[in-house]
């Protein structure tokens, strides 16, 4: 793998050059970024997948005061339909994408607009819904829009400052573009991360003036959801198979191992579209555990499957400061 990445370096240089030119055209005003009257908060990253964008959108939805009229815009990656859709729980993942399906299943009353043209989606929402705030899922690199605030995610074990352009690394945008974010959230941190470790990461990120950095870890729900909810501890004495179609399953695998669980792991690529043959194979497995995103795609076909939810937890009560930065009124004094 290392050799392949080295051989791909010339391609990464060409890719990086194209990204640099594109961003320069926006910086020089030759390409225009649209701004909107409605407050827009972009949640994104510089790399391809695995930083926890959708769980961060879920965290913001969960902590949004009930008095706020909230809308979410997402492009619906991997869906087979291309028409703009105002999502509802009856839509399938093929129609709206797996992550939007995950969101609308968890928050059935959410105003979720699925549209590959985010500018058009915001215009539609301003005309027909008039929300107080719009969350833009996976939109940091989408320069056609200039959000009111940008939230940039990067993972603890793969900081964007130590990454390289595709295909040598996983960067899809320039490290320099981190400057456009109001804050950086380092995700998937160790739960007991020391202040010294935080300082080390801060030095590596070297944030811009006034740019805040937050640290968050992953929390896994110990209640497994699905057709038959159960405690994760019920899996301790029974064999099961974990199926993942996400970018970075390693943290989930580590969590399950820490619970003393033994299982077989079937690992697929991010947003993998499971075939009929694969689904039939899964049906023959007595106990099946999926990620929430994978369950959004095929859970309705697998009565033997349950799924595990994840959530971000900010360290050092950073969630309260995070909401303050975004100008969102806190529902609880401490988060």
Task: Walk along the chain (335 residues) and give the pLDDT tens digit of each residue.
Answer: 566 666 778 899 999 999 999 999 999 999 999 999 999 999 999 999 889 999 999 999 999 998 999 999 999 988 988 899 999 999 999 999 999 999 999 999 999 999 999 999 999 999 999 999 999 999 999 999 999 999 999 999 999 999 999 999 999 999 999 999 999 999 999 999 999 999 999 999 999 999 999 999 999 999 999 988 899 999 998 889 999 999 899 999 999 999 999 999 999 999 999 999 999 999 999 999 999 999 999 999 999 999 999 999 999 889 999 999 999 877 665 56
DSSP letter, residue 110? -
pLDDT of 3 reads 64
**327: three-class secondary structure by DSSP:** coil
Give the chain's largest Cα–Cα span: 62
Same structural domain, 73 and 198:
yes
Same structural domain, 171 and 244:
no
Strands 39-45 and 288-291: what pairing?
A: unpaired
DSSP letter, residue 32? P
Beta bridge partners of 74: 114
Distance CA(52)–CA(155), nearest Å, equals: 9
Same structural domain, 286 and 197:
no
Task: Burial-class residue 49 by CB neighbours within 10 Å (0-12, 13-18, 19+).
Answer: middle
Whether residue 118 lies inside any domain: the answer is yes
User: Terminal CA-to-CA distance of the chain, rounded, Å?
Assistant: 41
Same structural domain, 146 and 232:
no
Whether residue 331 lies inside any domain: the answer is no
Task: Report the number of distinct structural domains present in the chain.
Answer: 2
pLDDT of 49 reads 81
- Residues 6+ away with beta carbon under 8 Å from 277: none
pLDDT of 317 reads 86
- Residues 6+ away with beta carbon under 8 Å from 258: none
Same structural domain, 272 and 144:
no
Where is 73: in which H helix or E strand?
strand 70-74
Whether residue 335 lies inside any domain: the answer is no
**CB 244: neighbour CB atoms within 10 A?**
22
| Residue recorded with tokens 């969960």 | 62
Do residues 245 and 289 lie in contact, with contact meaning Cβ atoms separated by under 8 Å?
Answer: no
Same structural domain, 63 and 201:
yes
Do residues 51 and 45 lie in contact, with contact meaning Cβ atoms separated by under 8 Å?
Answer: yes
Do residues 115 and 128 lie in contact, with contact meaning Cβ atoms separated by under 8 Å?
Answer: no
Same structural domain, 11 and 141:
yes
- Residues 6+ away with beta carbon under 8 Å from 73: 113, 115, 118, 121, 122, 125, 134, 135, 136, 137, 139
Same structural domain, 138 and 231:
no
Task: Burial-class residue 270 by CB neighbours within 10 Å (0-12, 13-18, 19+).
Answer: middle
Distance CA(260)–CA(251), nearest Å, equals: 15
Using alpha carbons, select from 124, 122, 126 the residue that is nearest to residue 137.
Answer: 122
Domain that holds residue 254: 222-308
Distance CA(288)–CA(308), nearest Å, equals: 11
């Amino acid at each position: 793998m290392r050799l392949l990445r080295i051989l791909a370096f010339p391609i990464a240089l060409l890719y990086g050059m194209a990204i640099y030119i594109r961003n320069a055209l926006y910086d020089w005003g030759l390409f225009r970024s649209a701004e909107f009257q409605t407050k827009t908060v972009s949640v994104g990253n510089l790399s391809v997948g695995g930083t926890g964008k959708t769980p961060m959108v879920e965290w913001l939805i969960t902590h949004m005061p009930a008095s706020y009229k909230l809308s979410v815009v997402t492009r619906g990656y991997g869906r087979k339909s291309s028409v703009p859709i105002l999502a509802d729980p009856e839509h399938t993942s093929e129609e709206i994408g797996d992550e939007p399906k995950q969101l609308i299943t968890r928050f059935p009353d959410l105003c979720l607009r699925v549209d590959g043209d985010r500018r058009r989606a915001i215009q539609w929402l301003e005309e027909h819904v008039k929300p107080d705030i719009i969350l833009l899922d996976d939109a940091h690199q989408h320069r056609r829009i200039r959000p009111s605030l940008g939230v940039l995610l990067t993972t603890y074990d793969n900081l964007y400052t130590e990454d390289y352009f595709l295909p040598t690394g996983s960067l899809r945008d320039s490290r320099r573009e981190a400057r456009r974010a109001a804050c950086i959230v380092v995700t998937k941190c160790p739960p007991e991360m020391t202040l010294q470790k935080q300082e080390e990461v801060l030095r590596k990120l070297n944030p811009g003036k006034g740019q805040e950095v937050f640290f968050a870890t992953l929390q896994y729900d110990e209640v497994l959801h699905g057709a038959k909810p159960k405690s994760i501890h019920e899996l301790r004495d029974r064999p099961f198979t974990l199926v993942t179609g996400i970018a970075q399953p390693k943290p989930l695998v580590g969590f399950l191992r820490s619970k003393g669980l033994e299982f077989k792991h079937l690992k697929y690529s991010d947003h993998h579209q499971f075939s009929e043959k694969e689904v039939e194979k899964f049906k023959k497995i007595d106990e099946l555990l999926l990620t929430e995103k994978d369950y959004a795609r095929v859970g309705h076909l697998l009565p033997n499957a349950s799924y595990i939810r994840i959530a971000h937890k900010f360290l050092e009560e950073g969630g309260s400061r995070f909401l303050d930065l975004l100008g969102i009124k806190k529902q609880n004094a401490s988060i």
